[in-house]
Amino acid sequence: MTAYASAFKEARPGVALIGAGAMGHALALRLADRGYPVLAVISRTRSKAEALAQAVGAPVASDRLMDVPPNARLVLACVGDGAIPDVAEALTGVRHPWKDTVVAHCSGALPAAALDPLVQEGAAALSFHPLQTVAAESSAQTLDGTYVGLEGDAQAVAAGIELAVGLGLRYLVLSAEAKPRYHLAATMTSNFLVTLMAMVQEILVSLDIDRADGFAMLEPLLRGTLDNLAHASPEDALTGPVVRGDLSTLRQHGLALRQHLPQLVPAYAALSVETVRLAVRSGRLDPDQAEAVLGLMQKLVTTPLPRSKSERPSPDPGTPRPAQPLGT
């Protein structure tokens, strides 16, 4: 067993944290809470390094990579993806027992190979990606229940497993080839949900419902949907007009968007097409109904929007009068 593997197995290794942003803040607090000695916090902004170092009792706060303590057996780089290779290259100039050290980055997209300059110095390179969105004002409990994606060579992953377990987190071991798809799934889950809710907010604002009231109104629906997904497959959890083949309701939705929020039409149609695939897989939407829904969505995005005065939306939003029908 190498020295760094032994340190991870037998004790809480000392940690040098590079980066004091949202993820660095959350991990630093979690490390300290779980008994890991945070030996240094290093950030481009010295004031951030000092504030976080004080919060976790780190004796070193610096804006210089050269100040990584020689007794740190884990160097955790919580920096942006674009900065990881540069940080790795710069760290090769630091006199440090790299052969006894695990160096980890927290990128979901990049492989452990982004740290190759340090591997050449003898370090074990690890991708340690907490699968969670983290706000600036985090706490030691922010990562409760979180999975960590681990990728690297066998020794580095073994150290990553020890770290994840020590932090009270769950873990998933990945190959370098699998990481882009893993990160894609995470991005779609978090980022696209935010985008979808922004679209919903636009619709509600068009009804003079403000953001706070709109979220309060939809929050039980969101939580109920997530609860359904926790206990059933997407095929079984799906409800709504697509899976029912309800062309009348879908046509009303399409007309409302074309008249009041035409910028949302392409996204609505694309999401509906994906929902057709899901509904067919569920066995509740037959092929004829699926073709009818797909045809309606095609008309929705290809029929020109009204341009003349007589084709403009009715003053009464409840009685839309499109120039061209979106299906029969």
Residues 225-264 have pLDDT tens digits of: 999 999 999 999 999 999 999 999 999 999 999 999 999 9
Residue 307 has pLDDT above 70, yes or no: no
Contacts 24+ apart (CB under 8 A), 295-301: 295/327, 296/247, 296/250, 296/251, 296/254, 296/326, 296/327, 297/254, 297/269, 297/272, 297/273, 298/269, 299/326, 299/327, 300/254, 300/257, 300/258, 300/265, 300/268, 300/269, 300/326, 301/265, 301/266, 301/269
For residue 328, the one-letter residue type is: T
Residue 326 has pLDDT above 80, yes or no: no
- Structure token pair of residue 252: 């009303």
* Main-chain dihedrals φ then ψ at residue 195, nearest 5 degrees: -60, -45
Residue 98 has pLDDT above 70, yes or no: yes
- Structure token pair of residue 187: 């991005």
- Structure token pair of residue 113: 């190979």
For residue 53, the one-letter residue type is: A
- Which region holds residue 35: left if phi is over 0, alpha if psi is between -120 and 50, else beta? left
pLDDT at 176: 97
Residue 199 has pLDDT above 80, yes or no: yes
> Residue 179, exposed/middle/buried by CB under 10 A (0-12, 13-18, 19+)?
buried
Edge-to-edge strand ranges of the sheet holding 74-77: 60-62, 38-42, 15-18, 74-77, 102-105, 124-130, 147-152, 170-173
Residue 223 has pLDDT above 70, yes or no: yes
Residues near 103 by beta carbon (within 8 Å), at least 6 away in sequence:
74, 75, 77, 88, 91, 115, 118, 123, 124, 125, 126
> How remote is the C-alpha of 148 from its chain's centroid?
12
pLDDT at 228: 97
For residue 277, the one-letter residue type is: R
pLDDT at 138: 85
> How remote is the C-alpha of 113 from its chain's centroid?
21
pLDDT band at 316 (very low <50, low <70, confident <90, very high): very low
Residues 16-56 have pLDDT tens digits of: 999 999 999 999 999 999 999 999 999 999 999 999 999 99
pLDDT at 323: 37
**Domains of the chain in sequence order:** 3-177 (3.40.50.720), 182-311 (no CATH)
What would you report as the CA-atom Rg of the chain, rounded to the nearest whole angstrom?
26
> What is 291-325 written as a DSSP string?
HHHHHHHHHHHHSPPP-SGGGSPPSSTTS---SS-
Produce one character per residue of 16-47: b if its CB has 16 or more CB atoms within 10 Å, e if not. bbbbbbbbbbbbbbbbbeeebbbbbbbbeeee
Residues 139-152, mean pLDDT to the nearest whole number: 95
Residues 57-76, mean pLDDT to the nearest whole number: 98
Model pTM score:
0.86
pLDDT at 126: 98
pLDDT at 164: 98
pLDDT at 7: 56
